Amino acid sequence: MAARYDITIEQGATFTFDVQVNDTDITGYSAAMQLRANHAATSTVLSLATGSGITITHSGNHSHLTIVVSAATTANLTAPQYGVYDLEYSSGGVVTRILEGTFYVTPEVTR
């Protein structure tokens, strides 16, 4: 079962988010994260994948999925804005959702 965590993204600032996966080596796996206005929305607010905003590393007995969204990309997000997201990793056709929740984009003042 996926853990629940709500995130805040500051419009115009670099967004960095690290998720630790304990006791699992997911080196070589793929990861994807999508943000949508709601669960039924057909278009994405933001879509990230391994090599394009998500990196996977392994250290000791746990792995990390690190999400980085540039300031230029967050500047282009509509704010204020609420929605939903989830984060998954996969290998060999097996998909594991590890995190889900809501997101909120806060408006930037300094431009």
- Domain ranges in the chain are 3-106
Q: Indicate whether 1 pLDDT > 90.
A: no
The pLDDT score that the predictor gives to residue 111 is 83
Reported as a single tens digit per residue, the pLDDT across 66-99 is: 999 999 999 999 999 999 999 999 999 999 999 9
| Helix boundaries (H) for 1-111 | 71-75
Fold classification of 3-106 is: Immunoglobulin-like (2.60.40)
* pTM summary value: 0.93
- How far, in Å, CA of 90 to CA of 60, rounded? 21
pLDDT tens, 18-57? Answer: 999 999 899 999 999 999 999 999 999 999 999 999 999 9
Model pLDDT, residue 54:
96
With 90 as the cut, is the pLDDT of residue 14 above it? yes
Nearest to 9 by CA among 97, 98, 85, 107: 107
DSSP 8-state secondary structure symbol assigned to residue 52:
B
Locus of tokens 């793929």: 30
Q: How many CB atoms lie within 10 A of CB 2?
A: 13
